[in-house]
Amino acid sequence: MTSVDRTPKPSFTKSLFLGQVQSELVMPYPLMTDGERAKVDAAVASAREFLTETYDPWKAEREGWVGDDTIRELGERKLTGLFVDEKYGGLGLSQSGYCRVMEEFGRVDASLSVVMGVHQSIGTKPLFLYGTDEQKERWLPDLAAGRKLAAFVLTEPNVGSDAYNLETWAERQFDGSWLLNGEKRWIGNGDKDVLTVFARSDLGHVALIVEKGMDGLETGPRFDTLGLRANHLQRVRFTNVRVPAENLLGEPGDGFRIAMNTLNNGRMSMGTSISGGMKRFLELALEHTTTRRQFDREIIDFELVEDKLAWMEQSIYGLESTSYLTTGMVDAGTSDFSLESAMTKVVASDVGWYALNRAFQVHGGTAFMNDHPLAKALRDFRIFPIFEGSNDVMRAYVALNGLKALSEDLPDVASLRINDPLKAVGVLAPYVSGRINRRIRPDKLRGAHPAFARQVNSLSDQTTRLRDRAEAALRKHGKRVQERQLIQKRLADAASGIYAQAAVIGRASAVFERDGADASGAEKTVAMNFLKRTERQVGRALRSLEVNDDRFVAQIGRTVREDGGYGFRL
């Protein structure tokens, strides 16, 4: 990437809640160097060749698995070890490079992108990040070559979003080994080879490598899912499974941190995989609307059709800009990117679903046929707002982390009493009432092209308003703000929108600097309109923190609960 400064850097999004715009974290926009781009382009070309000429997503869906032959060929092309060091047989790509290749899988088949994402983004990643040299030498070569597949084993029958309170138990033995008991569910690649399993113990949470064939390990039966039918989603049971001491990742007590940091990394590739899918939806929509004629004209000529395609184009541009800003920040050494990763995942899974529906709509009844690629996508994409952190939980996570950072910055507000809002989704301590009469004036986003002067000023104003509204929520609700999820949603959506605008301003500025603003006219139009649209969305989110119908929503919700459903008769 263009940035070479490896000094650990704080979170850009947390600074927004403080009313600060830390330009140095996001500007200049991280573009690939020529050397890395050549390497990534070669991997993209290899992936695209196989996916378009050999791989058959319909066959994979019929047979219920992407195919061992597919895994073998991807391994031979080194596409199963994209970020793994070359000395272990991988390609050694950066986070941005890895996510760019994952975009190709998302363009062709969501099932295959999930299989590859589970294997690499969250299955192999814990070993890559936390394994000892001996552990890496033992497992990474087979995983990078596709001879073995990895799984991330966290979710349980009674534990989903509340990942801290696992029920699977690991008991340390006198010889240092661990005796593992418990049950997991909804585990992608759960019947495969190398399972990173998370459990609780007397010494805290642990991350253990469990291998296929260990005594007491059972998998199945496989879940019968609505979509992603070529992905093995399994039950996994542990009955006195003895895990050797050398299979422990990190130290006892590190397990929860390893799990959360792994998911932070994994969410970024979901964003780019979904953007790949969205590009395919747009291609299908364009093909259909320029060949389908009604009322003696191509249907793309109708404004309501054109509007949908324009929305998709702008949304892809915004998501792509946000995704690769986040990956670029990671490559540049940003140490705290958890909020940016969470927001990227939320936006990707939301706009991906909306884009799919728009593409589906312009196809009319054609897409409703079961053998249409958009019908398959409709089944496959619905899980993404739930996968790797429910969007509702992710919004709460973003907002409560931002509020925690703000509370620590206020002299008369005690800080949150927790270290990680995911453990309890936030507990705010009481504070002294009364508003500090001051106006935060954040620095403007530095390094933007002059064409974005108005947008830079607007971003600064939005940041000020986010800080004001977040402080007002703290002062009004105190520790009860942990229960005010509608407030959390609005704060998170506003922060996400501001971050997306910074990403688009940065990306377009870098392109203008490289190619010239006049040569980038079409891109300028897309960028400007995305910024206008997102500015309006942020404005609505911030205004609704002051003027809303929340009390009526709560009242109606109680009525539904008391009546046991719809309670009115005509």
Check residue 89 and give its pLDDT: 96
Considering the domain architecture, whether residues 178 and 213 belong to the same structural domain is answered as yes
pLDDT tens-digit series, residues 243-270: 999 999 999 999 999 999 999 888 999 9
Looking at residue 50, its amino acid is: F
Of 106, 446, 394, the C-alpha closest to 272 is: 106
Domain interval for residue 372 = 257-381
Q: Work out the pLDDT band at 441, boundaries 50, 70, 90.
A: low
Query: 159: which strand partners?
Result: 156
For residue range 388-438, list pLDDT tens digits in order: 889 999 999 999 999 999 988 887 665 444 344 555 443 333 333 333 334
pTM over 0.95: no
CATH of the domain at 445: 1.20.140.10
Residue 151's contacts (CB-CB under 8 Å, 6 or more residues apart) are 118, 119, 123, 187, 188, 189, 190, 192, 194, 195, 196
**CB 426, CB 400: distance < 8 Å:** yes
Q: Does any domain span residue 335? A: yes
pLDDT in tens, 7-52: 445 689 999 999 999 999 999 999 988 889 999 999 999 999 999 9
Tens of pLDDT, residues 289-325: 999 999 999 999 999 999 999 999 999 999 999 999 9
At residue 459's C-alpha, the angle toward residues 454 and 464, to 5°, is 125
Question: Within this chain, do residues 411 and 545 fall inside the same structural domain, yes or no?
Answer: yes
- Quote the pLDDT of residue 9: 58
156 and 55 inside one domain: no
Residue 18 sits in a domain whose CATH number is 1.10.540.10
Looking at the fold, whether 429 and 484 belong to one and the same domain comes out as yes
413 & 470 share domain: yes
Q: Are 124 and 180 in contact (CB under 8 A)?
A: no
Check residue 6 and give its pLDDT: 46
Same domain, 345 and 231: no
Total structural domains in the chain?
Answer: 4
Residue 446 is assigned to a structural domain of this protein:
yes
User: Phi and psi dihedrals of 364, rounded to 5?
Assistant: 65, -145
Assigned domain for 376 exists: yes
SS3 170: strand
Which residues carry out catalysis? 388
| Same-domain check for residues 221 and 184 | yes
In DSSP terms, 230 is beta-bridged to none
